[in-house]
């Protein structure tokens, strides 16, 4: 039985509370957000929706679906941070709803409610769900594929619909629907959107076939027959065909348009090479990296991780749904743990399975409490209080370095401290549902405040957004070039140019040539190269503004023609940069 409408509404509202407030408050940060958004900006300016480019160069890192979603966001909210992030937030709300539906179908409606709430209020959902990257679309597409599989694989059982041991049965139409969802995943992030879901669903179908009481013979024969049964029941050929029907047209078109360069670089470099060896310094332990990532990403629900793992191991013996959760989680963890390049967002599509496991534990603790579990849950509340202390101390120390004046963000640490006290008190009164409710409210309040109030607190560290805010808007024919500037300069400065891009200077001396060809032009320059660039510029050019790029603390300068009587460049740069150093 799926979750009720009121439960689905509750999950959607909580997810919206975490994901939507102050969505565009912070500038595009790191490298991924501005690179994706700048690629979408180039499509918006040129009208070419097929070939992805970054500042005039072919962008081979990601397929095009995330850019199409950005363009839809730009049409709704404008060419800004909100427009770039809107699709991610809305799709993540959808992923939270799907998580609740999946857990409600494979377990019980109360498990579906708790699972949806867990997915909506864990830390990584808030982080990636508010980012202009392909992670949120991929998580939605793969979770949709899982939900379509769950709907198709549920079988009549007694007076209702449920799950049973034995082979899974799917119709051709249901398999095609799963394939369409996987095809959209391929349009989002490449083969991983198809291969990993097939691995998870296939291993579950194999496990189910293996448990068929009618299967006999030697071990090797049972293994082979179970594998063949899994392929037949999953209808792999139909899934592959539907996925290719969705993704192949664009892949073929971009291959033709770029003479094969995009496909070659994307597959060989950003798939094969990323798997074979670390790229861009992103590496980690094959055994500990992703378990630690999930522990942090599931905060504050990870306080009872040991209990959740034990509960899943016990219920896997008798519960079909737990086996599906384990297979889906393993399909993402094992391959990416073996990969050379590791990033936290790679395993976010596994979070619905983790949320379902947590939701099952919480719901079963409420329904069937035990003295031993109660004792361990008090330890979980203690960990929750300690995390609040860590936030209260750590955030002021961090903001003092990168965003002075935002030390008040440490007050957010009071939320988990108070929540831990309420959960402890409710459990002491034998109201475990109230204790779990306090846990959920704490998760919602902490994550929502960190991600909505946090950007507001550091808004004055606007990086290149703040740097170029004094320049005229697009159409004013004021050329902009950059030297050593972060990727965000391409998006924020590119918004002010008719072509949606900026010219990148190969060396400081090229600044003089650019200024001579474009009188009155401006430059966005890494502060470390100020002397070399300034030496090549006319005497009336100087530093107009300085800003700090978040979160790297990189100093960036805007250099342009100074008005008569303006401050000397060195003094102005020092005054602008000093409060943020």
* Mean pLDDT, rounded, for 287-308: 96
Categorize the per-residue pLDDT at 392 as very low, low, confident or very high, splitting at 50, 70 and 90. Answer: very high
Instruction: Tell whether pTM > 0.75.
Output: yes
> What ranges do the domains of the chain cover?
5-368, 374-457, 463-580
Give the whole-angstrom CA distance, residue 155 versus residue 149. Answer: 12
Token pair of 370 as six digits: 């035990």
| Number of CB atoms found within 10 A of residue 487's CB | 21
Categorize the per-residue pLDDT at 216 as very low, low, confident or very high, splitting at 50, 70 and 90. Answer: low
* Mean pLDDT, rounded, for 409-437: 96
Categorize the per-residue pLDDT at 456 as very low, low, confident or very high, splitting at 50, 70 and 90. Answer: confident
Amino acid 158: pLDDT: 38
Chain segment 188-214, per-residue pLDDT in tens: 999 999 999 999 999 998 888 877 766
Categorize the per-residue pLDDT at 160 as very low, low, confident or very high, splitting at 50, 70 and 90. Answer: very low
What are φ and ψ of residue 404, in 5° steps? -55, 140
Amino acid 213: pLDDT: 61
Estimate the crossing angle of helix 351-367 against helix 135-153, to 10 degrees. 60
Token pair of 197 as six digits: 């879901």
What lies within 8 Å, CB to CB, of 266 at 6+ separation is: 60, 61, 63, 190
Amino acid 226: pLDDT: 76
One DSSP character per residue, 400-412 reads HHHSTT-GGGGGG
120-124, 321-325, 488-492, 569-573: segment of lowest average pLDDT: 569-573
Q: Are 368 and 431 in contact (CB under 8 A)?
A: no
Q: What percent of the chain has a predicted confidence (pLDDT) above 70? A: 91
Nearest to residue 507, comparing CAs of 491, 496, 523?
523
| pLDDT, the chain, mean | 89
What lies within 8 Å, CB to CB, of 181 at 6+ separation is: 141, 142, 144, 145, 148
Categorize the per-residue pLDDT at 311 as very low, low, confident or very high, splitting at 50, 70 and 90. Answer: very high
Q: Are 121 and 447 in contact (CB under 8 A)?
A: yes
Give the whole-angstrom CA distance, residue 77 versus residue 503. Answer: 27
Categorize the per-residue pLDDT at 580 as very low, low, confident or very high, splitting at 50, 70 and 90. Answer: very low
Amino acid 67: pLDDT: 97
User: What is the domain class of 463-580 according to CATH?
Assistant: alpha beta
Parallel, antiparallel, or unpaired for β 155-157 and 160-162? Answer: antiparallel
Q: What percent of the chain has a predicted confidence (pLDDT) above 90? A: 67
Q: Are 388 and 417 in contact (CB under 8 A)?
A: yes
Token pair of 542 as six digits: 């100087």
Categorize the per-residue pLDDT at 447 as very low, low, confident or very high, splitting at 50, 70 and 90. Answer: very high
Q: Are 285 and 427 in contact (CB under 8 A)?
A: no
3-state secondary structure (DSSP) of residue 155: strand
Chain segment 230-248, per-residue pLDDT in tens: 788 889 999 999 999 999 9
3-state secondary structure (DSSP) of residue 128: helix
Residue with the larger pLDDT of the pair 97 and 578: 97
pLDDT of residue 120 exceeding 90: yes
pLDDT of residue 1 exceeding 60: no
pLDDT of residue 220 exceeding 90: no
């Amino acid at each position: 039985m799926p979750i009720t409408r009121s439960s689905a509404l509750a999950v959607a509202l909580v997810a919206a509370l975490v994901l939507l407030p102050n969505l565009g408050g912070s500038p595009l940060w790191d490298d991924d957000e501005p690179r994706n958004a700048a690629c979408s900006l180039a499509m918006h300016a040129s009208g070419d929706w097929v070939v992805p480019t970054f500042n005039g160069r072919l962008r081979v890192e990601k397929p095009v679906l995330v850019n199409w979603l950005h363009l839809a966001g730009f049409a709704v909210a404008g060419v800004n941070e909100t427009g770039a992030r809107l699709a991610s937030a809305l799709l993540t709300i959808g992923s939270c709803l799907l998580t609740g539906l999946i857990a409600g179908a494979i377990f019980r409606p109360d498990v579906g409610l708790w699972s949806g709430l867990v997915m909506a209020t864990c830390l990584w959902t808030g982080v990636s769900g508010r980012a202009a990257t392909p992670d949120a679309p991929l998580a939605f597409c793969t979770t949709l594929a899982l939900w379509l599989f769950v709907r198709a694989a549920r079988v009549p059982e007694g007076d209702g619909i449920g799950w049973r041991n034995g082979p899974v049965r799917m119709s051709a139409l249901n398999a095609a629907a799963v394939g369409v969802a996987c095809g959209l995943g391929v349009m989002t992030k490449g083969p991983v959107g198809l291969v990993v879901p097939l691995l998870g669903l296939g291993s579950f179908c194999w496990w189910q076939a293996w448990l068929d009481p009618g299967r006999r013979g030697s071990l090797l024969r049972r293994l082979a027959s179970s594998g063949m049964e899994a392929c037949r029941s999953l209808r792999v050929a139909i899934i592959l065909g539907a996925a290719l029907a969705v993704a192949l047209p664009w892949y073929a078109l971009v291959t033709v348009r770029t003479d094969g360069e995009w496909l070659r670089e994307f597959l060989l470099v950003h798939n094969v090479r990323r798997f074979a060896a670390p790229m861009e310094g992103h590496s980690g332990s094959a055994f500990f990296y992703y378990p630690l990532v999930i522990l942090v990403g599931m905060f504050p629900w990870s306080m009872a991780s040991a209990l959740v793992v034990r509960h899943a191991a016990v219920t896997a013996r008798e519960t079909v749904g737990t086996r599906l959760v384990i297979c889906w989680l393993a399909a993402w963890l094992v391959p990416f743990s073996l990969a050379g390049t590791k990033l936290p967002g790679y395993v976010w599509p596994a979070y619905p399975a983790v949320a379902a496991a947590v939701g099952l534990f919480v719901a079963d603790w409420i329904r069937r409490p035990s003295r031993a579990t109660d004792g361990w849950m008090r330890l979980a509340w203690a960990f929750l209080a300690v995390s609040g202390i860590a936030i209260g101390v750590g955030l002021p120390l961090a903001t003092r370095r990168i965003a002075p004046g935002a030390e008040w963000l440490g007050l957010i640490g009071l939320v988990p401290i108070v929540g831990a006290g309420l959960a402890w008190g409710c459990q002491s009164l034998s109201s475990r549902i109230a204790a779990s409710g306090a846990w959920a409210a704490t998760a919602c309040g902490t994550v929502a405040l960190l991600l909505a109030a946090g950007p507001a607190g550091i808004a004055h560290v606007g990086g290149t957004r703040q740097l170029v805010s004094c320049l005229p808007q697009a159409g004013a024919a004021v050329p902009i070039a950059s030297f050593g500037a972060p990727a965000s300069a391409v998006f924020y400065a590119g918004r002010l140019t008719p072509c949606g891009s900026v010219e990148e200077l190969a060396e400081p001396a090229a600044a003089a040539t650019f200024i001579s060809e474009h009188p009155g032009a401006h430059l966005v320059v890494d502060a470390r190269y100020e002397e070399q660039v300034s030496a090549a510029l006319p005497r009336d050019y100087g530093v107009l503004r300085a800003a700090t790029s978040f979160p790297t603390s990189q100093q960036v300068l805007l250099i342009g023609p100074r008005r008569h009587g303006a401050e000397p460049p060195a003094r102005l740069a020092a005054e602008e940069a000093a409060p943020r150093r």
